[in-house]
Structure 1
Amino acid sequence: MLLRTSSAALLLFILCLHSSLALKLCSFNIRSFGESKKENRQAMEVIVKVIKRCDIILLMEIKDSNNMICPMLMEKLNGGTTYNYVISSRLGRNVYKEQYAFLYKEKLVSVKKRYLYHDYQVGDADVFSREPFVVWFQSPFTVVKDFVIVPLHTTPEASVKEIDELVDVYTDVKHLWNVENFIFMGDFNAGCSYVPKKAWKNIRLRTDPKFVWLIGDGEDTTVKKSTSCAYDRIVLRGQDIVNSVVPKSSGVFDFQKAYKLTEAEALDVSDHFPVEFTLQFSRAVTNSKKSIQSRKKVKPKHS
């Protein structure tokens, strides 16, 4: 009886962790995410649906001087699954300010460290309009047990320089924390007129083959049918994390199509679609679930 009870409890725990045995990571620029959008019920329903698809999600363009957006999201999200979040300070050179936020499922991952990149290198100061809010995540369930996420929302006109500068962020974080596995994600404005084809040769994040780009130049991360630009990107560094990506899991999530919205309704949510990919769970977790499921299929004999 004790064995059966403990097995059932373990099965429930693993099922609660993730039905598909993969950790989904997402990046979503929610255009002008402030008070007016917070009061738009239909838009908020879509935003919550999008977030619930993800185990870790980066949110950008949070414009919230009262710090109410993330607490509000926690109330809407924390039903069966418990989310937590980390959020940057308000970033920007002038009056215009934004925040980065990471929302994550506490049963799957935890935050080890965080810091705001110091954008004050001698001779190369203040490159970023919104310097990266770097977060070191840990997960006991994935093949890669820890990884650093570097978010970026560029100023469109400075995209080439800001994307290139992510290599310096990588070097700085690697020296600071001695970590190997990196995820760079966000709205890089990495397409169309902001990063023309001739500009890629000046971007070290692209010319160095050790940085692996999951979202290609031919993708369309924009909601408007009149545009087709790969603004939002995901880039990896570290052989272990590259090898841990679930095949064919990276791409753009078209929430307009998924939730049957008109273009106007979708634009009320954002002018960007999220980008995403998944990391494999470790074999031990996978085998545990399979073993328990096999035992459940065997009917007990009755005397």
Structure 2
Amino acid sequence: MKITKRPRRLRANKAIRDLIRETKITPDDLVYPIFVVEGKNRKEEISTLKGNYHLSVDMLYEEVKEIRDCGIKSLLIFGIPDNKDCLGTESYSDNGIVQRAVREIKKNYKDMYIITDICMCQYTDHGHCGILTEEGIIDNDETLDYLGKIAVSHAKAGADMVAPSDMMDARIGYIRKQLDKEGYSNIPIMAYSAKYASSFYGPFRAAAHSAPSFGDRKTYQMDPANGDEALREVQLDIEEGADIVMVKPALPYLDIIRRIKDNHNIPIAAYNVSGEYSMLRTAVDTGLLSEDAIIEALTSIKRAGADIIITYFAKEICKQLRIDS
């Protein structure tokens, strides 16, 4: 009796393989992070993130045009101020770097969906994600007030979504309350719910000038060894009003993405962080891996259960998808 080998037959033709592909990356899945700096006429490649740039506000028009022409509809904005202090004052100023960037982009590209990072590490002179006590310890409850101010100022500038990345306890509920109080109940919150104290953030911290001046962030970011804790953190953020939850980093935590997907009915974002990008970028550029490794890595993130992928590869992937189509 002859056994019919149907799986092999279905794999024999590319057109068939494309038809039955279970997981597909599209531009709609991707969010592209950009770094905005002070000054004028600045477009400077970030040494730790090849192919990504520090951009002054006046240079955003051409950059966002290129991003939009690739098919990308969503941005995550990080601001890098010149002036820092212990209270991160520039983070919630109406004339802050993110607030000006949002207004500039919305002036020219009203259809571009803008997500803003809500944190204090780029704005404090000590590089930590909140207000410090005299003993140099994060004051969780006092920090909430500042995070609320930042979120409201971003919404006022025209942000479509805010993304708290600080990992303070109860910040989602506090920010939700402040946004609602100020008339921004329509602004969703994407919570960095499972943000690990990871070694993969190094290139970002150099790019954002946000490395802590002392100590580390292990007291408020998650232990990489913990999985159950991620589910608890996600549950708490959902109860406080998060609209989307995030896992960060992505590739070392695919199991966490899947566990959240299996346990919670909520959109999941995954941040393909700077260290993941730099490793793959270097491997491809030096010929150790083919460019196909990039799409393979991002496909694994979506296959694990992510609905949204934040990645520095977004422009490159969208250009490749256009060629392949």
> If the TM-score is normalised by the length of the shorter chain, which range does it land in?
0.3 to 0.5
If each structure's strand is expressed as a fraction of its own residues, which one has the higher value? Answer: 1
Q: What TM-score do the two structures reach when normalised by structure 2?
A: 0.36
Q: What TM-score do the two structures reach when normalised by structure 1?
A: 0.38
If each structure's helix is expressed as a fraction of its own residues, which one has the higher value? Answer: 2
